[in-house]
Structure 1
Amino acid sequence: MNNIRTVSDTKRTFYSLHTRPINSIYRRVIEELMVEMHLLSVNVDFSYDPIYALGVVTAFDRFMQGYLPESDQESIFNALIKAEQDDPQRYRGEAQHLQELAKNLSVKDLIASLKSPAEGTATEWLGDLQAIAINPKLKYSRLFAIGLFTLLEQADPSGIQDKATREQILSQLAEALHLPQDKLLKDLDLYRSNLEKVAQARLMIEEMTQAERKKREQRANEAVGASAPDTSN
């Protein structure tokens, strides 16, 4: 009988690899991502693919943007992937490679190629997408959706910002890849909304930190002024 790793096992491994405290605003983000990845990894229908890896990397980098100390970001990412018994460099390398490929392909070409693959047109990762489209046991995930959306951002950074255009493109891709359209749109709307919330929370913390710094400086200046000798007489 195989022993399936538990969420507790994964968390224990993570905190043994990254031993420094994690700022509270980010701890929940990291643990939710960790649990999501763990539950996928133990699902019999789940299989790793580069688009999923890109989703993991993108979600981590964007939610962790502004984390201090900045030097801890790499340690946290490495611990996260190793806790899932995988290779951080594999995730980083494949994510970067996919984004470079996507920059050379328009969204229109992407959808057309999925419907009727054109020989020599970004076949390397179109092959991954075509394999996904014909997989009857594909385990859809939010992280895969984020990876797919990141590819679209690289292929058409301006067009994907328009809500109507974005939803039309995502609907076409969902149909071509046999993904749950409503869930895809909902997951990506929530992802974008959560990014905004984290950015707002980060801004609030920065403002509070600056205000506290100014108060300390003001108190220090007042203390210096009070201790200075009176030379008016």
Structure 2
Amino acid sequence: MAALTSLSFSTLTQCSKRKSTMTSTLGIRTHFSYHHNYVGVRPFNSTSKMVIQCMSSVTDIPSVSETKLSFLKAYKRPIPSIYNNVLQELIVQHHLMRYKTSYRYDPVFALGFVTIYDKLMEGYPSDEDRDAIFKAYINALKEDPQQYRIDAQKLEEWARAQNSTSLVEFSSKEGEVEGILKDVAERAGGKGEFSYSRFFAVGLFRLLELANATEPTILDKLCAVLNVNKRSVDRDLDVYRMLLSKLVQAKELLREYIDREKKKREERAEPQNANGAIAKCLGQQLSVL
């Protein structure tokens, strides 16, 4: 079972700078306050609807350990190590993204996280517990789990109705999701706060996947119109694919382990059942005598 507990999200990253930052940030309490979220009203063009982005201000930044403790307090039931190890690494990275000065929630980011979470928790013993863990996790980061789910579903439904061409031509169209993507493009282009992250990269990948946009050049075009660095996206998608591969292997090992233990229990139970049947039979014969 050692192989099952060694899976670590951070060990899959290829960016040593990020890892060193994470290590230095763990458990350190930040002793200053700031307002990094705001209410912004931005028209995309003269005829489009105005999109209002509302974010609550954060005046007391929790430490990583406080965020993890909030999660553990909200969900007190034990989580199998194959899931818990990755969740603990994930919440550390999510915390660091969440409390960056340039962070601003957006639905593509939410879609990326929801995609990673759902892939990680596939096969979890209880659907009810899986949902409860999700809520406890997002609440620990002082965000809205329902908003994550709603926005992710909204983008997924939109992407299913797209193709390779329409996906990258959102800037010439009107609509709620088109407005979201235009806002991302403007902020990433330097006209507002934007913080690129691995979750955002996975969100883009999910859009391509649902639109069945398999041509390699489509990701290049989508990154270009969104003003996002393609090399960063490629790097983070490689890490994501590696994570999925590791999870598949670990879950397969877990299934094999469970099957072996079940078989051992059954084998141990057979002699006991046989002895019980013999004793019962002898008891019946003695009672006749």
Decide: shared fold, TM above 0.5: yes
| Separation in 2, partners of 1:210, 1:28 | 22
Q: 1:25 aligns with which of 57, 77, 82?
A: 82
Note if 1:218 corresponds to 2:267: yes
Match of 1:155 in 2: 211
Match of 2:217 in 1: 168
C-alpha offsets along residues 11-35 of structure 1, whole Å, 9 cap, x if unaligned? 1111110011111111121112211
Shift of 1:155: 1.1
| Separation in 2, partners of 1:70, 1:215 | 28
| Separation in 2, partners of 1:70, 1:92 | 15
Q: What code does the residue aligned with 2:182 have?
A: Q
Note if 1:206 corresponds to 2:255: yes
Contact 1:170 1:185 (C-alpha < 8 Å) held by counterparts: no
Q: 2:121 aligns with which of 48, 52, 64?
A: 64
C-alpha offsets along residues 106-140 of structure 1, whole Å, 9 cap, x if unaligned? 121111334xx13x4xx211221122112114210
Identity of aligned residues (%): 39
C-alpha offsets along residues 58-97 of structure 1, whole Å, 9 cap, x if unaligned? 1111111112244311111000000011111111111111
Q: 1:189 aligns with which of 238, 245, 250?
A: 238
Contact 2:103 2:195 (C-alpha < 8 Å) held by counterparts: yes
| Separation in 1, partners of 2:149, 2:258 | 32
| Separation in 1, partners of 2:244, 2:136 | 22
C-alpha offsets along residues 161-189 of structure 1, whole Å, 9 cap, x if unaligned? xxxx3x42222212221212111011112
Matches within 5 A, 1:1-233: 1-2=32-33, 3-114=60-171, 117-118=172-173, 120=174, 123-135=175-187, 136=190, 137-156=193-212, 159-160=213-214, 165=215, 167-226=216-275, 228-229=277-278
| Separation in 1, partners of 2:64, 2:101 | 16
Q: Which has the larger radius of gyration?
A: 2
Q: What code does the residue aligned with 2:154 have?
A: H
Unaligned 5+ runs, structure 2:
1-31, 34-59, 282-289
Shift of 1:225: 3.2
| Separation in 2, partners of 1:17, 1:80 | 8
Shift of 1:51: 0.9
> Which stretch of structure 1 is more off in the superposition, 215-224 or 204-213?
215-224
| Separation in 1, partners of 2:184, 2:144 | 22
TM norm structure 1: 0.87
Unaligned 5+ runs, structure 1:
none
| Separation in 2, partners of 1:227, 1:91 | 56
Shift of 1:222: 2.8
Q: What code does the residue aligned with 1:28 have?
A: N
| Separation in 2, partners of 1:69, 1:101 | 29
| Separation in 2, partners of 1:27, 1:36 | 14
CA RMSD of aligned residues (A): 1.9
Q: What SS is found at the alignment partner of 2:169? A: helix
* Count of aligned positions: 219
TM norm structure 2: 0.71
Q: What code does the residue aligned with 2:178 have?
A: L
